[in-house]
């Protein structure tokens, strides 16, 4: 308590000294408090030398905990109370801010310790300690405003200096690594976003393909019964003795067309009634069945339709989906022919542990601006006559089978699609690996 009283005494004495005048005569000034004034210049002028009365306040302990012969800041700044409180408030706010930053860093380390390297965690912890040490120097500024524990203040500054040196050295050493880590993290984040977007697009495409398959199955099923009824009525017309020869001929032609539509309907149903496991199929036989389905358009346009390559070309696949892929591309090739006598070819060959099929036409070709988006959902080169599902579904089905597709097109030579299927379906390969 004597230390506190001494502080108040010095403060009051200093106020009296100010009122007496700093350049008054030595006697009048010294008479205020002789123990606090000493001559400080050779010319005999007098000045105030701030020093505290000796007390036993904090005297029992290490030297750094003992007050030195210096006055607290509040005494030396007694002439400006606003300055005192400005320093106290700003230092206190700074200390609390540093403390909150330290707590936040430690919290982040605890939450991200599974994803950051251990040495980086140590660096962040060291940086957090440096932050709290910086804050402690501001807290000591508040304390030494009234209590002259300057040795503690000095010790805190020493610790802060050591930690700041450590952080500075480690930061310089890790500067390039930090830049690489940030760049690597940004790349991994971008890749993750791209993979997420690709997965979402595949999921959306799979759902659309499923919906389209379900719709086509329903349509094929629903038109089957009316077609069979029409076929039966045409049969009655052709077998009726009272029918004229001309009516019988027309009825027979109509019956042939109905049979063709029924065949297409049944083929469509078979596309989506797949077995749970892929089957071993011959692509040569699939191409022959596709030619049968397209025979009408081949005859109407006078197309030279050719299948090249002697089979068998065996692959493990879903028969209906494989037939759908070839049928879509072969139909597009036939529709691209605008002059009679032009050709469409389906060339089969063995390649890269699988089978390659090239579907080429001598049509008008595809513009280069359309090639990059040709396999996207809803994109079509047929205007209002197309729905943009054929080529998109082709790519989806090939991807499902582990195959690939590419194309080249020009107005002079037409369009060529190159398809490749692996010999073994991916699902069967995975099953074999699991069993092994």
Topology of the domain covering 193-273: Helix Hairpins (1.10.287)
What architecture is domain 277-435?
2-Layer Sandwich (3.30)
CB atoms within 10 A of CB 147: 19
Query: Is 50 exceeded by the pLDDT of residue 129?
Result: yes
**Between 88 and 69, residue with greater pLDDT:** 88
Place 385 in a pLDDT band, splitting at 50, 70 and 90: low
DSSP strands (E only) in 321-384: 343-351, 354-361
Torsion sign, CA atoms 375, 370, 345, 335: positive
Region of 256 (left: φ > 0; alpha: ψ -120 to 50; beta: rest) is alpha
Distance CA 281, CA 425 (A): 11
Residue 150: name the closest of 229, 93, 66 by CA: 66
What's residue 149's pLDDT?
Answer: 81
Place 5 in a pLDDT band, splitting at 50, 70 and 90: very low
Tokens 């979402």 -> residue: 200
What's residue 346's pLDDT?
Answer: 95
The region of weakest confidence among 43-52, 128-137, 199-208, 240-249 is: 43-52
Lookup: tokens for 58: 């904090």
Lookup: tokens for 264: 């297409």
Q: What percent of the chain is modeled with pLDDT above 70?
A: 68
**Between 209 and 102, residue with greater pLDDT:** 102
Query: Rounded mean pLDDT of the chain?
Result: 74
Residues 221-277: tens digit of each pLDDT: 777 778 888 888 888 888 888 888 888 888 888 887 787 777 667 666 665 555 567
Domain boundaries of the chain, sorted by first residue:
2-173, 193-273, 277-435
Query: Is 90 exceeded by the pLDDT of residue 163?
Result: no
Q: What is the pTM of this model?
A: 0.43
Q: What is the mean pLDDT of residues 202-206?
A: 77
The region of weakest confidence among 158-167, 361-370, 385-394 is: 385-394
Q: What is the mean pLDDT of residues 340-349?
A: 92
């Amino acid at each position: 308590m004597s230390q506190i009283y001494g502080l108040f005494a010095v403060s009051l004495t200093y106020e009296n000294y100010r009122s007496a005048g700093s350049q008054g005569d030595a006697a009048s000034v010294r008479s205020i408090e002789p123990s606090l004034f000493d001559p400080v210049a050779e010319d005999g002028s007098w000045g105030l030398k701030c020093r505290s009365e000796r007390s036993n306040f904090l005297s029992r302990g290490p030297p750094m905990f003992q007050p030195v012969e210096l006055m607290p800041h509040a005494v030396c700044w007694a002439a400006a109370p606003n300055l005192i409180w400005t320093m106290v408030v700003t230092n206190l706010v700074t200390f609390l801010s540093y403390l909150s930053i330290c707590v936040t860093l430690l919290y982040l380390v605890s939450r991200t310790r599974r994803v950051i390297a251990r040495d980086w965690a140590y660096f962040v912890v060291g940086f957090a300690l440096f932050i709290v040490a910086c804050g402690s120097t501001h807290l000591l500024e508040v304390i030494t405003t009234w209590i002259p524990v300057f040795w503690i203040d000095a010790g805190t500054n020493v610790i802060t200096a050591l930690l700041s040196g450590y952080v500075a050295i480690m930061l310089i050493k890790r500067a390039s690594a930090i830049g690489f880590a940030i760049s690597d993290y940004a790349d991994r984040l971008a890749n993750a976003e791209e993979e997420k977007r690709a997965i979402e697009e595949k999921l959306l495409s799979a759902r659309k393909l499923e919906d389209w398959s379900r719709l086509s199955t329903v349509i094929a099923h629903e038109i089957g019964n009316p077609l069979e009824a029409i076929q039966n009525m045409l049969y009655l017309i052709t077998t009726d003795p009272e029918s004229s020869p001309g009516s019988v001929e027309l009825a027979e032609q109509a019956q042939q067309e109905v049979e063709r539509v029924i065949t297409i309907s049944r083929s469509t149903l078979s596309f989506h009634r797949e077995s749970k496991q892929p089957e071993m199929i011959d692509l040569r036989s699939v191409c022959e069945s596709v030619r049968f389905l397209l025979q009408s358009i081949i005859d109407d346009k006078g197309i030279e339709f050719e299948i090249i390559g002697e089979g068998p070309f065996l692959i493990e696949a879903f028969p209906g989906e494989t037939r759908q892929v070839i049928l879509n591309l072969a139909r597009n090739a036939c529709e691209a022919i605008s002059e009679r006598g032009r050709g469409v070819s389906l060339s089969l060959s063995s390649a890269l542990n699988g089978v390659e099929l090239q579907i080429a036409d001598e049509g008008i070709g595809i513009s280069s601006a359309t090639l990059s988006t040709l396999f996207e959902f809803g994109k079509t080169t047929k205007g209002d006559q197309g729905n943009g599902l054929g080529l998109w579904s082709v790519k989806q089905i090939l991807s499902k089978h582990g195959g690939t597709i590419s194309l080249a097109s020009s107005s002079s030579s037409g369009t060529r699609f190159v398809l490749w299927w692996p010999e073994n379906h991916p699902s069967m390969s995975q099953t074999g690996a699991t069993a092994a």
